[in-house]
Structure 1
Amino acid sequence: MFDRMRERFFKGEWRTSKPIIGLLALVVAAFFFILAIPNIQTQTYNLEKYGTAPETIRSPITIENEQKTDQQIREVTRAVDDRYTVSEDITEERISMIEEIFDVVEETGAEGDDAAGKEEQLRKVQALLSDEITSELPTEIFLPLLQADKEERETAKQFLIPSVHTALEDGIRAEDLPDAERNIHLKAEYSSVPASLKQVVSDIAAFGLVENSLYDPRRTEEAIKSAASQVEPIMIRAGEVLVQKGSTITNDIYEDLRLTGVLKEQRNLLPFLGLACFALLLGTIMYMESFRAVHHYGLSLSHLAITALISIFMVFLMKMISLYDSMDQPIFYLVPAATGAVLIKVLCRERLALVMAILYALMGCVLFNGQLSGTLNAAAGMYLLLSQLAGIFFLTRKKERLSIVKASAGVAITNICTILFFLFISFEKYTWSEVLLYCGYGFAAAMIAAVLTLGLLPFFETGFGILSDQKLLALASPNHPVLRKILIEAPGTYHHSVMVANLSEAACESIGANGLLARVAAYYHDLGKTVKPHFFIENQMGMKNPHDYMEPEESAEIIIDHPYAGAAMLEKENFPPEIIAIAEQHHGTTLLKYFFHKAQERRESVKEEEFRYPGPKPQTKEAAIINICDSVEAAVRSLDHPTADKIRSIVRSIMESRLLDGQLDDSHLTFNDLKKLEYAICETLQGIYHSRIEYPDTKQLVREAK
């Protein structure tokens, strides 16, 4: 009963069932979620301020200490100086006033008479100067300028205006005024200004020098913001030691412990939500690729069940090894990562293996994070991915089990190269003994992967009824007891089966079907003829045909029985269901035309159903191709002189007959497939029955030589 249920489940009755595919993906995702919880769950401690740390505690996450960052920003901004802006309007105004003084003095001195009194000249100067000047400067200070000649006044002017302008351009704040006045006074003492005018020059300079560097709140605010933006956030890095074992827990340390969530009273559900989303994403990718594999590549649910079991095994294996992993000792180098990918490639398809390899690598990033919540081990993920890709790509001939061992050498080289890459780009210094140790891990991982793959293959093949290439090759061995039974008891049938196998394999490969399955199934498709071999023409070899002495119905019964007798014998020998099905279906529901017409000649009322095989019709491409090639080989073998045109005509005729009779309705063959099949079968037959040179009789050559 269990076998029947397993066959229904795994051989396609629920082949397109989305819920089953989704359930398998969900189981894998849930298993990963459960095992990965410790990797994202923060370990908490019951700690108090000023207590003693029971162990060295590291930060499980990377987080900013905003309090310390804000404190750093405040310190930096307090150190920012106020920003001032020099007023050009004030500068121009003061220079203009100084120029006005010299212009008025020059005008007064030019208009004034030498005999005029000093008082009169001073009154004129006071009257001509602006009130702003006269209100700040007493009129008497201009007397030396009036008494000086024009050249002396010009010398004083040429010194004073540039000096004041330069000082104002540099900007003068209130506290800088005394220094600015003193500087110009000192310069005047050592300048070419006449001695009689040096004091008045200093007085006018003191008048011209005013505060023109004004506080600029906008620029000051910009400077503060710029300084604040330059402050790097104070970060607590994942893996950073928060407190050493035995150390006192100060206020700052306690705050860091609180921020990183390691205190007992804190509970953060976000990591669980993140892990659930990640696991759901991985499960969705697995579901989509599995669904594609079923509908585009013809995989059964048994293949998907195997993929799910392999995935669970790989996750469990990585988790077990991760328990011994640490930041100082990267044990993930020992993971036999290629096991899962190679198994899926051998048992299922290469594309599915590639997708699952990526998923396993992503899972490894989480499982090998050293149980530091919020971190991923990218190095582990990269190593696992490259190891798996090496296993997939170096396994070029998956039909041979020895090729798995050969592929492990490529995996070992890839592992070692990846490990050396990690070690040599690291800032840490490794001794040569450590380098050799880690390379040994990589080599051991490759060898363990090969052993696990070879050991698990028979389990999956037997337990799930998977027909692998290795099993097919074993069945194709000429020394197989059943094949030898055909050879000994029905040699003609054996030869016919070998020819059909050659045709079927070439035909299948032309349309992308399973050529190896077709070849092996063709070897055994006529096993039922060994029950009564002499009733089949290829085994009669010089003896009389027993059908000449039998009723057509009796002959038809014997002929029709051979597919089902063969299927029963194969089932008894525990052959794969695919080969049993082809043996049972290889004649479909075709009509035994010879015996049917023979019966019609003897009586009028003949039921056609009695001369048709009961079926079923071919359900797969391989079964349909063997159905065609079986008839084609027998028909072409009956030709005395097979030519290319005759072969093509027979092939086309048989294919059209099968198509019109509905024998190909359930085989999923397309018209494009039929065109390719016709060409491939004709090419193969022409290679077998090509023209040969007819050599003359040896005795005739001797007589002609005499």
Structure 2
Amino acid sequence: MGFWNQLDSFFAESTMAKEHSPARKMILILLFFILNTIILSMDFLPDYLSLSVGQVSDRDVVAPRTVSFVDEPRTKKLEAEVLSGVANVYDLDTGAAVTAEDGVSRIFRAVRAVQADKSLKTPDERLNRLKGMMTGLLPEKTITLLPLITSAEVDQLEENARTILRKYLYRGIRDEELEGIRRQAGSDIEKLGFGVTGSQILTDVIQPQLRPNFVLNQRETELRRQAALRKMEPIRITVKSGQIVVRRGDVVTEEQVQMMMELGLHKAETGIARILGLSLYVLLIMGAMLLSLQRFFPAVFADDRRLLLVSLILLLALAIGRVGHYYSDFVTPIAVGPLLTAILVNPTAAMMVSTMTALFFGIIAEQNVRVFSFVLIGSFAGIFCLAQSGRRHSLVRAGIWVALANVATVITTGLIEEIEYRQILTDSLLGAVGGVGAAILAIGLLPYLEQSFRITTSENLLNLARPNHPLLQRLLLEAPGTYYHSILVGNLAETAADQIGADPVLSRVGAYYHDVGKIQRPFFFVENQANMENPHTKLSPSLSTMIITSHIRDGLEFCREFKLPEVIADIVGQHHGTSLVSYFYKQAAEGEHGECIIEEDFRYEGPKPQTKEAALIMLADSCEAAVRAIGNPNVTRIENTVRRIINERLRDGQLNECDLTLRDLNMIGDIFIRVLCSTCHSRVEYPVDAIRDLERRRPRNGNGNKPGAGKALVAVENRGNTADCAAKNGGVAETGG
């Protein structure tokens, strides 16, 4: 992390200063221009490689880098060998076992029927009947044995026949196993000890039913063949950096030409004009980028740290593209740049980065319009996905979107250019891999970029929300009333944030810390006073105002001490804006020197809320405290209080510098009212003494088991419930509230 620490110290002064150094910004822009030009011009090599097949080389050609490519003829031969080694897949036909058992049942059912037929008087009649029923099922010799067995033996034989059939058929029989299985079944029959007659009958009943019951599964066999092909590594030719591809005096072969092409060496001669044209091209695109940043993203342009972040992301994407170009333009995870920008800056800036990436990568890919479309459309798809949530856990889904967009772009552009179907399929698969790879790479790089550039993400905020954070622990122990107030404010702010397009996590965590400054003097705030005397009764209104408003400065000091993110410190400093401490202002105005009172002396220092989240916490803070102060809250009182506070903040201009709309304020009011009504409405105070008196009198009056005795209690309970329900529905009835 030494490099990142040096970068951090280099830009720390600039980041904290209000005026950013123009010289530092120019250095950054110049470095970006130089590095970008170097990356793009790496293919512009002198042309000593205009060699063709059969030509005698007049020099040694040395590989400038290591490259590997597929040897197609040998790979196809290997595929055939792999497929021949994949065994066929067979499925067990359990229906064969059921059919076999049905056949056994039919035989023994016929024997029982003949035994039970009283019309058959003689053994010959029974035998003739059995022959008529068993023809084709059993040998005639075996049929003659059937009249000799008893009914009990019939049951035993049938049960054992079923058992033996199940043993082998449910396990499965292959063609090559059939003879061995039949011998094993014969051994099983001998072990049963039925004697010659019973064993012969069992053998002739079972043996015909033992048949192969494995069926070829063509689909699964094909899937395994394809899986084997996927596992197969294609035969690759690797040319190592420094290896001599063609020696001086050698006749150039087709394989050597292919090596030079894969190395990117077989190009036209490079001239000064190409380098100059490339430099101007880079300047043109950079100028467009800087003007766009200055016009549409002034915060990014003014912040050297964020400008450096965007520049590094773009250079990283191009460096990855440069490496990937030596293998395939489509497998390159170049969308990692736009994905990182969408998460760390914003989706709109990411669209600009994706456009620049596509323009620059088009140079690397030899002005290939197909590759330009591939980069641009795939990146836009990932940005669109992240724009829906902007959270790290969405990166995997964004990678899938990029992969799908890559595949669609490769297929459509391939069809337009009439590229071979096999090549389109290969490029599509590579594009899918590149899309998923971009997401994986982004996930891996995010923690380093977040730490190095002090970027606050949802994961960082959730860590701050843990109750065991040292500052929250201090707030709980030293200002418990403020702590629980902050939890309630967090619930209000988070619920409303989700509905108005603000960040719910930032709203909740910001609310947890918004009043940490009260730790310094907790007992000067009413929520921490419990039953103690209010110290403000002994102070002048102006001094009380100074103490109350100082919790903002104290809170910012705690933010610095505990190294809380800047977004949290902003909320701490803005959540009261420049609002008036009305209680002490009114007290001072009504005092002896009221005409000399200056209103500005009783206002917070500000600034006013600059974001939706800070404004939400301002409103939630005021509404929760005001509703808690209502003596007997019901729906009407809560609603009136919430609407009044929102209108007061609006009229006072506290919401002028954030982008909340009137529609947002109306939604915020509705949500606050609903949440506060569910947590702060009054409860009915049941007439406990009357109930106890009723309980005492009931046994004495002898009404303990009579229906009327319970009606009084039910009436009291229902009366309380009615009052409670009425209070929830507008306070029409406030009985016992």
TM range (shorter): 0.5 to 0.7
Structure-1 residue corresponding to 2:328:
331
- TM-score normalised by structure 1 residue count: 0.57
1:685-700 to 2 correspondence within 5 Å? 685-690=672-677, 697=686
Structure-1 residue corresponding to 2:522:
533
| Partner Cα distance (1:469, 1:573) in 2 | 18
Residue 571 of structure 1: which of 530, 535, 560 is its match? Answer: 560
Alignment pair present for 1:678 and 2:669: no
Q: Which has the higher contact order (CA 8 A, sep 6+)?
A: 1
Structure-2 residue corresponding to 1:140:
none
Structure-1 residue corresponding to 2:439:
450
- C-alpha contact 1:387 1:411 (8 A) present in aligned 2: yes
Residue 345 of structure 2: which of 335, 348, 368 is its match? Answer: 348
Question: Deviation of residue 414 (structure 1)?
Answer: 4.6
| Partner Cα distance (2:338, 2:438) in 1 | 10
Aligned CA RMSD, in angstroms, stands at 4.7
| Partner Cα distance (1:44, 1:505) in 2 | 66
CA offsets 1:356-383 (integer angstroms, 9 cap, x no match): 11221222221133xxxxxx23343333
CA offsets 1:405-450 (integer angstroms, 9 cap, x no match): 343344445556666778888655859xx977x6775565345433
What letter corresponds to residue 346 of structure 1 in structure 2?
I
Question: Deviation of residue 476 (structure 1)?
Answer: 3.6
Structure-2 residue corresponding to 1:404:
395
| Partner Cα distance (2:555, 2:522) in 1 | 12
What letter corresponds to residue 450 of structure 1 in structure 2?
A
Alignment pair present for 1:286 and 2:289: yes
- C-alpha contact 1:504 1:625 (8 A) present in aligned 2: yes
What letter corresponds to residue 516 of structure 2 in structure 1?
L
Residue 393 of structure 1: which of 372, 384, 387 is its match? Answer: 384
CA offsets 1:195-252 (integer angstroms, 9 cap, x no match): xxxxxxxxxxxxxxxxxxxxxxxxxxxxxxxxxxxxxxxxxxxxxxxxx97489xxxx
Secondary structure of the residue aligned to 1:333 is coil
Residue 483 of structure 1: which of 466, 472, 488 is its match? Answer: 472
| Partner Cα distance (1:320, 1:479) in 2 | 46
What letter corresponds to residue 608 of structure 2 in structure 1?
P
Residue 615 of structure 1: which of 605, 608, 632 is its match? Answer: 605
Question: Deviation of residue 311 (structure 1)?
Answer: 0.7
Give the number of aligned pairs. Answer: 485
| Partner Cα distance (2:641, 2:300) in 1 | 32
| Partner Cα distance (2:520, 2:474) in 1 | 11
Question: Deviation of residue 312 (structure 1)?
Answer: 1.4
Secondary structure of the residue aligned to 2:18 is coil
1:93-132 to 2 correspondence within 5 Å? none
| Partner Cα distance (2:601, 2:281) in 1 | 61
| Partner Cα distance (2:398, 2:24) in 1 | 33
| Partner Cα distance (1:291, 1:455) in 2 | 30
CA offsets 1:444-488 (integer angstroms, 9 cap, x no match): 534543343223223332322222333334334455443354345
- C-alpha contact 2:14 2:304 (8 A) present in aligned 1: yes
| Partner Cα distance (1:26, 1:298) in 2 | 15
Structure-1 residue corresponding to 2:712:
703
Secondary structure of the residue aligned to 1:563 is helix
1:216-615 to 2 correspondence within 5 Å? 246=251, 268-295=271-298, 300-322=303-325, 325=326, 330-369=327-366, 376-395=367-386, 398=389, 400-415=391-406, 441-442=430-431, 444-478=433-467, 480-505=469-494, 514=503, 516-548=505-537, 552=541, 555-598=544-587, 604=593, 612=602, 615=605
Sort the Cα spacing of 1:448 and 1:616 in 2 relative to 1 into closer, same or farther, 3 A: same
Secondary structure of the residue aligned to 2:330 is helix
Question: Deviation of residue 314 (structure 1)?
Answer: 1.3
What letter corresponds to residue 310 of structure 2 in structure 1?
T
Question: Deviation of residue 347 (structure 1)?
Answer: 1.0
Sort the Cα spacing of 1:396 and 1:480 in 2 relative to 1 into closer, same or farther, 3 A: farther
Residue 624 of structure 2: which of 621, 624, 633 is its match? Answer: 633
CA offsets 1:99-158 (integer angstroms, 9 cap, x no match): xxxxxxxxxxxxxxxxxxxxxxxxxxxxxxxxxxxxxxxxxxxxxxxxxxxxxxxxxxxx
- C-alpha contact 1:567 1:580 (8 A) present in aligned 2: yes
| Partner Cα distance (1:30, 1:473) in 2 | 40
| Partner Cα distance (1:685, 1:24) in 2 | 47
Sort the Cα spacing of 1:690 and 1:477 in 2 relative to 1 into closer, same or farther, 3 A: same
CA offsets 1:150-182 (integer angstroms, 9 cap, x no match): xxxxxxxxxxxxxxxxxxxxxxxxxxxxxxxxx
Sort the Cα spacing of 1:519 and 1:9 in 2 relative to 1 into closer, same or farther, 3 A: farther
| Partner Cα distance (1:617, 1:538) in 2 | 25
| Partner Cα distance (1:429, 1:604) in 2 | 91
Structure-2 residue corresponding to 1:216:
none
Secondary structure of the residue aligned to 1:395 is helix
Sort the Cα spacing of 1:687 and 1:459 in 2 relative to 1 into closer, same or farther, 3 A: same
What letter corresponds to residue 525 of structure 2 in structure 1?
F
What letter corresponds to residue 567 of structure 1 in structure 2?
L
What letter corresponds to residue 323 of structure 2 in structure 1?
M
- TM-score normalised by structure 2 residue count: 0.55
Structure-1 residue corresponding to 2:69:
none
